[in-house]
Amino acid sequence: MLFFSTGTLDDTVGDVIANNDTIPEPLKPWIAIAIGLAAAFVIALVAAFIVNRALRKVPQLAKDAGRGRMPLWWALNFAFTKVALALTVKDNEWLRLWQFLLLLGLVLSIAWLAIVLLGLLEDMVLAKYRTDLDNPRRLAKMETQIGLLRRVATALIMVLAVAGTLLTIPEVRALGAGLLASAGLISVVAALAVQSSLANVFAGLQIAFTDAIRVNDTVVVETQRGSIEEITLTYVVVLLLDGRRLIIPSTYFTTTPFENWSRRSSEINGSVLLDLNWNAPIEHLRTRTEQLLASTDLWDGRVGSLNVTDAIGGILKVTIAVSARNPGDLFDLKNYVREHLIGELRKDYPDTLPGPMVNSAPPA
**What's the confidence (pLDDT) of residue 197?**
60
**What's the confidence (pLDDT) of residue 267?**
76
Q: What is the DSSP letter of 58?
A: -
Three-state secondary-structure class, residue 209: helix
Distance between CA 207 and CA 248 in Å, rounded?
13
**Which pLDDT tens digit goes with each residue over 105-116?**
888 888 888 888
Q: Indicate if the pLDDT at residue 333 is higher than 50.
A: yes
Choice between 57 and 332, residue whose per-residue pLDDT is larger: 332
**Which pLDDT tens digit goes with each residue over 260-296?**
877 766 678 888 999 999 899 999 999 999 999 999 9
Q: Indicate if the pLDDT at residue 21 is higher than 70.
A: no
Q: Which of 254, 211, 208 is nearest to 231 (CA)?
A: 208
Spatial contact of 296 and 333, defined as CB atoms under 8 Å apart: yes
Overall fold of domain 158-265 = SH3 type barrels. (2.30.30)
How sure is the predictor about 32, in pLDDT bands with cuts at 50, 70 and 90?
Answer: low
Contacts of 44 (CB under 8 A, 6+ apart): 69, 72, 73, 76
Q: Which of 332, 324, 204 is nearest to 261 (CA)?
A: 324
Q: Average pLDDT of 119-130?
A: 76
Choice between 265 and 232, residue whose per-residue pLDDT is larger: 232
**What's the confidence (pLDDT) of residue 294?**
92
Spatial contact of 260 and 217, defined as CB atoms under 8 Å apart: yes
Q: Average pLDDT of 186-197?
A: 51
For the ranges 21-30, 138-147, 307-316, 346-355, the lowest mean pLDDT is seen at 21-30
Calculate what percentage of the chain has a pLDDT beyond 70.
68
How sure is the predictor about 317, in pLDDT bands with cuts at 50, 70 and 90?
Answer: very high
| Domain spans of the chain, in order of start | 2-131, 158-265, 268-352
**What's the confidence (pLDDT) of residue 193?**
46
Q: Indicate if the pLDDT at residue 206 is higher than 80.
A: no
Distance between CA 246 and CA 30 in Å, rounded?
56
For the ranges 102-106, 288-292, 297-301, the lowest mean pLDDT is seen at 102-106
Spatial contact of 275 and 316, defined as CB atoms under 8 Å apart: yes
Q: Average pLDDT of 338-350?
A: 91
Q: What is the CATH number that goes with domain 268-352?
A: 3.30.70.100
**What's the confidence (pLDDT) of residue 192?**
47
**Which pLDDT tens digit goes with each residue over 152-165?**
788 778 877 777 77
Q: What is the pTM of this model?
A: 0.45
How sure is the predictor about 100, in pLDDT bands with cuts at 50, 70 and 90?
Answer: confident
How sure is the predictor about 360, in pLDDT bands with cuts at 50, 70 and 90?
Answer: very low
Three-state secondary-structure class, residue 95: helix
**What's the confidence (pLDDT) of residue 295?**
92
Across the chain, mean pLDDT equals 75
Q: Average pLDDT of 238-265?
A: 84
Spatial contact of 237 and 228, defined as CB atoms under 8 Å apart: yes
Beta bridge partners of 317: 275, 310
Q: Indicate if the pLDDT at residue 79 is higher than 90.
A: no
Q: Indicate if the pLDDT at residue 64 is higher than 60.
A: yes
